[in-house]
Amino acid sequence: MGISTILPRHERCGACNLCVLACSFHHEGAFGRRNSSIEIIKNEREGEVEIVIFDAARDGRRPCDGCADEERPLCVQWCPVGALSVKRN
Amino acid sequence: MTQPFAIGGNILRVDLTRRAVTVEPTAPLNLRFPAGMGVNNWLLLNETPLGKAPLDPDNPLIFTAGSLVGTMAATACRMTISCKNVLTGGFGAASAGGNFAPELKYAGFDHIVVTGRAAQPVYIDIDDGNVTICDADGLWGETTWETEKILRARIDRPTLELLSIGPAGESMAAAACIIVSRTRSASRCGVGAVMGSKNLKAIAVSGSGALQVAEPEAFMAESLAMQRYLMGVDTTKNLRNFGTSTSFEAWNKLGSIPVRNYQATQIDLDEADAIATAVKEKHYIEKAFGCFACPVMCSQYQRVKSGPHAGTRGEKVESQDYWDFGGKLGISDPAAVLALSEHCTQLGLDNTNATNPIAWALECYQRGLLTTDDTDGLELAWGDVEVISQLLTKIAYREGIGDLLADGSLAAAERLGRNSERFAMHMKGQDLAEEMRVFKGWALAIAVAERGGTHTQGGPLTERMPLQPELSMQRFGVPTAFDPTSYEHKAELVIYYQRFHNLLEITGICFYATYWCGLQMMGPDEVARLYSLATGDNKTADELMTEGEKILYLQKAFNMRHTTFDRASDYPPERFMNEPATGPHAGERLERPDWDRLLDEYYGQRGWDLASGKPTAENFRAVGLPELA
């Protein structure tokens, strides 16, 4: 984890995956889900979402680095419902 | 035309008869046609054999992700599924949101072309380039939700996305749809029946790839600015708060709802108010969800906590569901509409193509053309939720009267006889969703739609917007875009929206973020900017609208090749001509001389043959399709 910690509010998340894509763009300059440090797991039946933020590399994913080179983490910038916020460490 | 960026890059071909999988690059076709709907429609046109019934195994079923899908372009998530239309015998296509299409591109594919018929039920598993045809043991016979649950337990991979058919697709009911991501539906044209005809229960996909765009920083800046702009627009706020269902009451006030099989155009205002209150006061709505890359989030998760439908819960109940169940079938309890919609999703039934034949049956029963001898003993009555639920199940499994209704209202009427065809409300054989009497541009688009009876191929919503002629001129070059009952210039307006809708289907951007829904949202210019920055295929709005026009010609060519559609096929059902609307536009109907003139204008705008309603050889050459001339 870098200088920032991303704080998820699962109950707000609308599962649009824009944070996932923003994160993948931050890491690789390209859009995908498996190269992102975020995974959105949605339970369609119960209307629930879990925002998983990887703080360690796993299955080819890079860990969240808090977008150290950005003014604000891209996932926070892009989330349309305020489900992600940042805590500076 | 090439799309060097934001593209999966390959076409996956699966021949289920031979259990053979091949992969070829998208690029050669993409030189001539835009990815997404363009390549899709070209493949469908060229690879559908002549003289085969829609459910013949030789026909292709083509799954396609839009050209911007997988990027961060707002709402670019949509998939088009095309095939020979089970109801019309002509061009067929259905569209769905959700997460499947972007995952397909991350796996490296823009299209899946499925042909043949598996000897036993199967599903296709796409794990990047590793594609396996797997036996569907334990899946056949299951609902779409159960199928997804079983497959998720069976396939342990991250970012797995699924689509499937339910019992309706297995029994090849024309009303069968394909359910995507458990909550989204690719409906109309019998796409689920075609999937069933191939013994194909489901497709699973997961991809580890990522999409590059042509101008990354500029694309990100443009996309973020567009997202933030969209979120400030009232239409977006309304969609996110309530979904599309609030329009039901507004449309009812305008007298534009199909009521009791189109016998009227307005339901009781108090009943409509009760539905609107349930939506606006969020009696059932708990939370808004978005499809992939969608900041609009029109999909409302709803839960019924008490009463006879307690326990009902799920997503994506639309205004159209209230037309289908609330209007056409006379069900005024919104909880019942939610329950029946959920029932359809599990059975893999397209709500519209399932409810329209039921509405036909209810009217036939009302008029004594059907009796309990024909209905497995069921007494058919408007608004009877239990009976309607049973009829939906019977359609899905082709049980008893369900077998009569499973092929659509026209086929049912032809089988029944008894002069019941006049109550079969369809265009070109496909069941209608829409009331057509009041709004003339809306009616024209639905009547001439190549896939048969749909407002999603050019149906303008401007006729319901309280705007001024000056803005109409500025945006559309005609003064009447906002005039509900005028026939004047509606041909031009429909042609504009036909091109625009096809442009959106090229990109995979959702209609609900665009000019179609609200004139403050994305128009051709905004879409063209995103398209050019992402794909590297620099196109102006006019150029993309021209590509949209070319796609219409591909669909027209398909219908000219496979059907006998002509000018007569573009006339609405007699009921809309003979029986007037109710409500504020009481007395309004589609007059035949007006319709004659409107069709002349529509064909004439494009230089088509007025007698047949078909393009000429010169028309095909002019849009860059000389081989179709």
Read off the CATH number of the domain in which B153 is found. Answer: 3.60.9.10
- What average pLDDT does this structure show over B372-383? 98
- What is the pLDDT, as a whole number, of residue B316? 79
pLDDT tens, residue by residue, B79-132: 999 999 999 999 999 999 999 999 999 999 999 999 999 999 999 999 999 999
How far apart, in whole angstroms, are the C-alpha atoms of residue B192 and residue B626? 33
In chain A, the residue whose alpha carbon lies closest to the alpha carbon of B5 is A30
Are both B538 and B608 inside the same structural domain?
yes
Average pLDDT over all residues of chain A: 94
- Least Cα distance to B613 among B622, B600, B595, B628 occurs for B600
Are both B174 and B281 inside the same structural domain?
no
- What average pLDDT does this structure show over B502-507? 97
Domain count, chain B: 3
Average pLDDT over all residues of chain B: 96
- What average pLDDT does this structure show over B370-375? 98
Are both B264 and B378 inside the same structural domain?
yes
> Considering the domain boundaries, does residue B416 fall inside one?
yes
**Residue where a domain stops, chosen among B397, B431, B465:** B431
- What is the pLDDT, as a whole number, of residue B94? 98
pLDDT tens, residue by residue, B275-319: 999 998 999 999 999 999 999 999 999 999 999 999 999 997 888
Determine whether the interchain pair B210/A35 forms a contact, defined as Cβ–Cβ distance below 8 Å.
Answer: yes
| Chain A CB within 8 Å of residue B30 CB | no
Are both B408 and B467 inside the same structural domain?
no
Instruction: Please state, for a pLDDT cut of 70, what percent of chain B lies above it.
Output: 100
> Considering the domain boundaries, does residue B3 fall inside one?
no
| Chain B CB within 8 Å of residue A25 CB | yes
| CA A69 to chain CA centroid, nearest Å | 16
| Chain A CB within 8 Å of residue B216 CB | yes
Q: Is the pLDDT of residue B235 over 50?
A: yes
Q: How confident is the model at residue B174 (pLDDT cuts 50, 70, 90)?
A: very high
**Residue where a domain stops, chosen among B431, B459, B486:** B431
> Considering the domain boundaries, does residue B221 fall inside one?
no
Phi/psi of residue B423, each to 5°?
-100, 0
**Residue where a domain stops, chosen among B367, B399, B431:** B431
Looking at beta carbons, which residues of chain B come within 8 Å of A78? Answer: 72, 224, 227
CATH number at residue B266: 1.10.569.10
In chain A, the residue whose alpha carbon lies closest to the alpha carbon of B68 is A31
How far apart, in whole angstroms, are the C-alpha atoms of residue B107 and residue B204? 11
Mean pLDDT by 10 residues, chain A (89 residues): 83 98 97 97 96 92 92 96 92
Determine whether the interchain pair A80/B289 forms a contact, defined as Cβ–Cβ distance below 8 Å.
Answer: no
> Considering the domain boundaries, does residue B302 fall inside one?
yes
> Considering the domain boundaries, does residue B212 fall inside one?
no
Determine whether the interchain pair A34/B207 forms a contact, defined as Cβ–Cβ distance below 8 Å.
Answer: yes
- What is the pLDDT, as a whole number, of residue B34? 87
- What average pLDDT does this structure show over B539-567? 98
Which among B208, B227, B287 has CB closest to A80? Answer: B227
Q: Which two tokens stand for residue B411?
A: 């086929």
Q: Is the pLDDT of residue B1 over 60?
A: no
Q: A45 vs chain B: nearest CA distance in angstroms?
A: 6
Determine whether the interchain pair B209/A44 forms a contact, defined as Cβ–Cβ distance below 8 Å.
Answer: no
Determine whether the interchain pair A32/B301 forms a contact, defined as Cβ–Cβ distance below 8 Å.
Answer: no
pTM over 0.95: yes
Q: Which two tokens stand for residue B150?
A: 């079983």
Determine whether the interchain pair A47/B289 forms a contact, defined as Cβ–Cβ distance below 8 Å.
Answer: yes
Looking at beta carbons, which residues of chain B come within 8 Å of A22? Answer: 72
In chain B, the residue whose alpha carbon lies closest to the alpha carbon of A47 is B301
In chain A, the residue whose alpha carbon lies closest to the alpha carbon of B224 is A78
> Considering the domain boundaries, does residue B120 fall inside one?
yes
Q: B135 vs chain A: nearest CA distance in angstroms?
A: 26
Residue B144 near residue B166 (C-beta atoms within 8 A): yes
Which of A33, A54, A58, A84 should we substitute to test contact with B (largest number of B Cβ atoms within 10 Å)?
A33
- What is the pLDDT, as a whole number, of residue B432? 97
Are both B147 and B290 inside the same structural domain?
no
| Angle (deg, nearest 10), helices B234-242 and B216-231 | 70
Q: B295 vs chain A: nearest CA distance in angstroms?
A: 6
Q: Is the pLDDT of residue B577 over 70?
A: yes
- What is the pLDDT, as a whole number, of residue A2? 53
Q: How confident is the model at residue B218 (pLDDT cuts 50, 70, 90)?
A: very high
Are both B353 and B394 inside the same structural domain?
yes
Q: A82 vs chain B: nearest CA distance in angstroms?
A: 11
Looking at beta carbons, which residues of chain A come within 8 Å of B212? Answer: 29-30
Its domain, for residue B525, covers 440-628
- What is the pLDDT, as a whole number, of residue A1? 46
Are both B116 and B40 inside the same structural domain?
yes
Q: Is the pLDDT of residue B415 over 70?
A: yes
- What is the pLDDT, as a whole number, of residue B2? 59
Please give the C-alpha separations between residue B392 and each of B196, B308, B464, in angstroms, as whole numbers: 18, 18, 32
Are both B393 and B344 inside the same structural domain?
yes
Determine whether the interchain pair B314/A44 forms a contact, defined as Cβ–Cβ distance below 8 Å.
Answer: yes
What SS3 state is found at B603? helix
Are both B189 and B301 inside the same structural domain?
no
Determine whether the interchain pair B220/A25 forms a contact, defined as Cβ–Cβ distance below 8 Å.
Answer: yes
| Chain B CB within 8 Å of residue A70 CB | no
Q: Is the pLDDT of residue B404 over 90?
A: yes
Higher pLDDT among residues A59 and B500, named by residue: B500
Which among B286, B295, B313 has CB closest to A80? Answer: B295
In chain B, the residue whose alpha carbon lies closest to the alpha carbon of A81 is B295
Determine whether the interchain pair A47/B301 forms a contact, defined as Cβ–Cβ distance below 8 Å.
Answer: yes
Please give the C-alpha separations between residue B556 and each of A41, B80, B458, B510, B559, in angstroms, as whole numbers: 42, 17, 14, 23, 5
- What is the pLDDT, as a whole number, of residue B381? 98
Task: Using the CB atoms, write b or e for B480-516: b if 16+ within 10 Å.
Answer: bbbbbeebebbbbbbbbbbbbbbbbbbbbbbbbbbbb
Are both B179 and B152 inside the same structural domain?
yes
Which among B70, B71, B297 has CB closest to A16? Answer: B297
Q: Which two tokens stand for residue B462?
A: 């401007």
How far apart, in whole angstroms, are the C-alpha atoms of residue B428 and residue B391? 24
> Considering the domain boundaries, does residue B217 fall inside one?
no
Are both B365 and B458 inside the same structural domain?
no
Determine whether the interchain pair A47/B71 forms a contact, defined as Cβ–Cβ distance below 8 Å.
Answer: no
Looking at beta carbons, which residues of chain B come within 8 Å of A34? Answer: 106, 158-159, 207-210
- What is the pLDDT, as a whole number, of residue B197? 98
| Chain B CB within 8 Å of residue A16 CB | yes
Which letter does DSSP use for residue B359 in this model? H
Determine whether the interchain pair A31/B208 forms a contact, defined as Cβ–Cβ distance below 8 Å.
Answer: no
How far apart, in whole angstroms, are the C-alpha atoms of residue A12 and residue B67? 30
Question: Which position has the token pair 């839009």?
Answer: B66
Higher pLDDT among residues B134 and B467, named by residue: B134
Which of B71, B72, B105, B239 should we substitute to test contact with A (largest number of A Cβ atoms within 10 Å)?
B72
Q: Which two tokens stand for residue B188?
A: 């109309």
Please give the C-alpha separations between residue B124 and each of A70, B45, B144, B161, B201, in angstroms, as whole numbers: 41, 24, 15, 12, 8
- Least Cα distance to B298 among A33, A21, A80, A85 occurs for A80
Looking at beta carbons, which residues of chain B come within 8 Å of A27? Answer: none
Instruction: Please state, for a pLDDT cut of 90, what percent of chain B lies above it.
Output: 94
> Considering the domain boundaries, does residue B232 fall inside one?
no
Q: Is the ipTM of this complex over 0.95?
A: yes
Are both B425 and B446 inside the same structural domain?
no
Enumerate the β-bridge partners of residue A31: B211
CATH number at residue B549: 1.10.599.10
